[in-house]
Amino acid sequence: MLGKTAGGLFWLSRYLERSENTARLVEAGFRMALTRAASGEDEWGSVLTTVGCLNAYKAKHETITPNTSVDFLLRDKTNPMSVYSVMQMARDNARATRTALTREVWEAVNDGWMVLKEMLRRPVAQADLPNVLTTVRQQSALVRGALQGTMLRNDIFSFSRIGSLIERADNTARILDVKYYVLLPTGAPVGSSLDNVQWEMILRSASADRSFHWLNAGNVTPKAIAEFLILDARMPRSLAFCYDGLIDSLRELGAEYGDTRPSHDLAAKLEERLTGRTIDNIIDSGLHEFIREFIKANAELAAQVEQDYRFYE
């Protein structure tokens, strides 16, 4: 396979995952705004930070309001992180890698782009927001379904999966990063009294609220939530799940190409940080530092994969 094609597949999957994550964050923010009268600004500020576009937002808008935030996150063409921009890039990557995609996958991406482009043509009224956000997630699910159902399990599939898992791990880690920063004043020990609504927001941002409650029967503690999102490999958006999958996919690539490359070792090292730990252990040595390091190492892994498989010249 061409290095460029591998890169295109990797980024196609990253962008699809990203659009879905952003939609989920907007949904959580929207819900917070509905359930809490005060401090909409903080909530939207943290959503913008999690998506990684707070500075870009501030450069354009003076104050943080729900409407301008939602607009910036969903349909601002000048914001490279907006759902609109991200879907456009996903579709460009799909066009560039068409020869590697099945007709079903291509059509799912192309359909998704056409539907969203139309929906995001005009500002989204609050009453339509749930519908738009659901559509973003559904389109992403359709592509994933087409990938699962029609693609050969070869290097093409592996690069797509690696892209999507790296992006997802990054997203989950960012949610934790932002929320810890916001929630814990300096010096306050992790695990002290907590705002339940804030924790709901974290769980919702990761589509983890139902499964968490189902497993924990209403026993909401920050530690349990952190454990769930970091270490529980049953939870498809947890860091542990993502790294299980990454190790698998890299191993499959190794088997197909008959070699191991530096990214394989890097991923294995990162996975050790997750499997060899308990949540107490992580919290004791500094949860925030742990998350920070994880985000950095995850980005390094992405760069190593790019280099190992010659995505660029």
Partner 1 sequence: MRGSDESARQPYAEYCAWLESVKINELHKKSREAETFFRRTGITFNVYGEKDADERLIPFDLVPRIIDGKEWRLLVRGIEQRVKAINAFLHDIYHRQEILRAGRIPEHLIANNEAFLPEMIGVTPPGGVYTHIVGVDLVRTGANEFYVLEDNARTPSGVSYMLENRETMLKMFPELFSRIKVQPISNYPTLLRRSLGKCAPARSEGRPTVAVLTPGLHNSAYFEHAFLADQMGAELVEGHDLRVVDGRVAMRTTQGYQPVDVLYRRIDDEYLDPLNFNRSSMLGVPGIMDVYRSGGITLANAPGTGIADDKAIYSYMPDIVEFYTGQTAILKNVPTYRCSEADSLKYVLENLHELVVKEVHGSGGYGMLVGPAASKRELSAFRAKLTAKPSNYIAQPTLALSTVPVLTRGGLAPRHVDLRPYVLVSPDNIDITPGGLTRVAMKAGSLVVNSSQGGGTKDTWVLEE
Residues engaged in binding partner 1 (CB under 8 A): 1-6, 92, 95-96, 98-99, 103, 106-107, 110-111, 114, 155, 257, 309-310, 313
Residue closer to partner 1 (CB basis): 142 or 203: 142
What is the nearest approach in angstroms of partner 1 to the Cβ of residue 254? 12
- Residue found under tokens 């597949």: 9
DSSP code per residue over 56-81: HHHHH-SS--HHHHHHHHHT-TT-TT
- Residue found under tokens 């699962």: 148
What is the nearest approach in angstroms of partner 1 to the Cβ of residue 56? 21
- Token pair belonging to 285: 């040595």
Residue closer to partner 1 (CB basis): 9 or 48: 9
Return the closest-CA partner of residue 231 out of 279, 180, 159: 279
Whole-number Å distance between alpha carbons of 82 and 104: 25
Whole-number Å distance between alpha carbons of 203 and 28: 9
Residue 105 makes CB contacts below 8 A (sequence gap 6+) with: 94, 143, 146, 147, 150, 151
Residue closer to partner 1 (CB basis): 71 or 111: 111
What is the nearest approach in angstroms of partner 1 to the Cβ of residue 4? 5
Residue closer to partner 1 (CB basis): 96 or 220: 96
- Token pair belonging to 309: 């498989």
What is the nearest approach in angstroms of partner 1 to the Cβ of residue 96? 6
What is the nearest approach in angstroms of partner 1 to the Cβ of residue 104? 11
Residue closer to partner 1 (CB basis): 92 or 244: 92
What is the nearest approach in angstroms of partner 1 to the Cβ of residue 155? 7
Residue 47 makes CB contacts below 8 A (sequence gap 6+) with: 25, 26, 28, 29, 69, 73
Residue closer to partner 1 (CB basis): 90 or 239: 90
